[in-house]
A and B are shown apart, each in its own frame.
Chain A
Amino acid sequence: MLDLTPDEWIAIRLSLRIALVATVVALPFGLAIAWLLARKDFWGKAIVDGLVHLPLVLPPVVTGYLLLISFGRKGPIGSFLADTFGIVFSFRWTGAALACGIMGFPLLVRAVRLSIEAIDRRLEDAAATLGASRLWIFATVTLPLALPGIIAGMVLCFAKALGEFGATITFVSNIPGETQTLSAAIYTYTNVPGGDAAAGRLVLVAIALALLALIASEWFARRAGMRFHGE
């Protein structure tokens, strides 16, 4: 079928790993922020909401640049993390995952928040009268009822992370095998003479992955929704 070269496979695997790590790491933060925004009124809520959504409207290159000056080796957060925990983001695949996670974060939070807001809070009151603590209510009522939205949000975040280009390339550059994702590889091939065939193959892979993610999310959401209606 598609005769992919080893270099192309490396870019695909790297992209999948980055997108997966970005989504999984973003999930707990996304759940917490979405729950706060859906359920709590606090000072500065509008600011938090705005900050979360900023990557959605900001030019990705700006997000990438901000990451570079804050999480780069010489940036305040980047140097702190490198010195104390040995975690380095700049020009590493972990940096790409960070950029992708931040770009996908608003999509994740939005979907989860909407599904939490749609939950009948009277069910949570009922759980409290049955002896459940807040944490148990969240785990046994809120979370399972929000599951379709959580899955949808994760797929959106994953798809966004898979396709992310601007912030990633600005922050961690385009290093084959380390930070050269599918999108970056396609971009590179289109700039090299004779790279059309390789770019074409990777474009097909990108389309296939996107479709697969959509179908999977539809299937999961339907399964989760089915459980609420009858047997």
Chain B
Amino acid sequence: MLAVEVEKRLGDFALAAAFKAAGGVTALFGPSGAGKTTIVNMIAGLIAPDRGRIALDDTVLFDAAARIIVPPLRRRIGYVFQEDRLFPHLTVRRNLDYGRYMNGLPRDEAGMMRVVDLLDIGALLDRRPGRLSGGERQRIAIGRALLTHPRLLLLDEPLASLDAGRKREILPYLVRLRDEAKVPMLYVSHQFREVKRIATEVVRLDDGRVAAQGGLDLLDASVADMLV
């Protein structure tokens, strides 16, 4: 269970959002500039809110009143960025292994191969990210985040930088991730069809505020709103 209640001023933009995500895939849905990435960065620990509280299960990650700020490296939250952000100087295998090593987890070849198979990146292991396609790179980035055994996986528009064909290539892997790996996910997107395919719950964000939260039926209502 992820509980978020944050406030932050960024110039003219004021963010004040509160929502809970129980498990499964929660979509953070809304137009560009609604504050989706800012919220995700706060949950990851890359940005500190001005006020509020963030808790994951029974761990408090941030509490302004109690002056608790857990640094990102100790949050055990996987983050798949909009751009893959793979390390260009490391092979795919070492990119995938980076989080395990940094978290001091024991070597687990079988676990690694399960993720590699799930994402179908076995043929790329000894290559460097430089010349791989966008879809391949983003699959590796998902695997890299997954292999830290995160308590929560943040995906910030993971398909936004890909063309339509590549999007269709990745979506099935994300669905498998949801159904097989069963890691709770927070999925940021402004793409209606993407959200509909992957999410189990929707938080609709609008201009820095939570406009609505609920099931997938909320999507149709949101779209109807937008069309009006």
A residues near B (Cβ < 8 Å) are 120, 122-123, 125-133, 136, 140-141, 144-145, 227-231
Interface residue from A128, A227, A229, A230 paired with B73 (Cβ < 8 Å): A128
5 pairs, A vs B, C-beta closer than 8 Å: A129-B72, A129-B75, A130-B99, A131-B103, A231-B127
State which of B56-64, B76-84, B169-177, B193-201 sits at the interface with chain A: B76-84
B54 to chain A, nearest CB (A): 15
A129 to chain B, nearest CB (A): 4
Bound CA–CA A229/B76 (angstroms): 30
Q: Say whether A145 contacts B88, CB under 8 Å.
A: yes
B residues near A (Cβ < 8 Å) are 44-46, 71-79, 81, 83, 85, 87-89, 98-99, 102-103, 127-128, 130-131, 144-145, 148
Q: A131-B76, A131-B103, A132-B73 given as contacts; is B130 within 8 A of A126 (CB)?
A: no
Q: Is the interface of A mostly helix, strand, loop or mixed?
A: helix
Chain B residues, Cβ within 8 Å of A228: 88-89, 128, 130
Q: Say whether B148 contacts A130, CB under 8 Å.
A: yes
Bound CA–CA A123/B73 (angstroms): 14
Q: Say whether B130 contacts A128, CB under 8 Å.
A: no
Q: Say whether A144 contacts B89, CB under 8 Å.
A: yes
Q: Say whether B73 contacts A231, CB under 8 Å.
A: no
A168 to chain B, nearest CB (A): 38
Chain A residues, Cβ within 8 Å of B148: 130-131
Bound CA–CA A140/B89 (angstroms): 9
Q: Say whether B87 contacts A141, CB under 8 Å.
A: yes
| Smallest CB gap from A141: residue in B | B87
Bound CA–CA A129/B131 (angstroms): 24
Q: Say whether A126 contacts B131, CB under 8 Å.
A: no
Interface residue from B44, B83, B130 paired with A229 (Cβ < 8 Å): B130
Bound CA–CA A114/B75 (angstroms): 32
Chain B residues, Cβ within 8 Å of A141: 87
Q: Say whether B76 contacts A122, CB under 8 Å.
A: no
Q: Say whether A128 contacts B127, CB under 8 Å.
A: no
Bound CA–CA A144/B90 (angstroms): 10
Q: Say whether A123 contacts B127, CB under 8 Å.
A: no
Bound CA–CA A131/B45 (angstroms): 12
Chain A residues, Cβ within 8 Å of B128: 227-231
Given contacts A126-B79, A127-B98, 6 further A-B contacts (CB under 8 A): A127-B87, A129-B45, A129-B46, A130-B98, A130-B99, A130-B102
Bound CA–CA A152/B75 (angstroms): 38
Q: Say whether B88 contacts A130, CB under 8 Å.
A: no
B106 to chain A, nearest CB (A): 14
Q: Say whether B99 contacts A230, CB under 8 Å.
A: no
Bound CA–CA A145/B78 (angstroms): 23
| Smallest CB gap from B99: residue in A | A130
Q: Say whether B81 contacts A122, CB under 8 Å.
A: yes
Q: A230-B128, A230-B130 given as contacts; is B102 within 8 A of A131 (CB)?
A: yes
| Smallest CB gap from B41: residue in A | A125
Q: Say whether B130 contacts A133, CB under 8 Å.
A: no
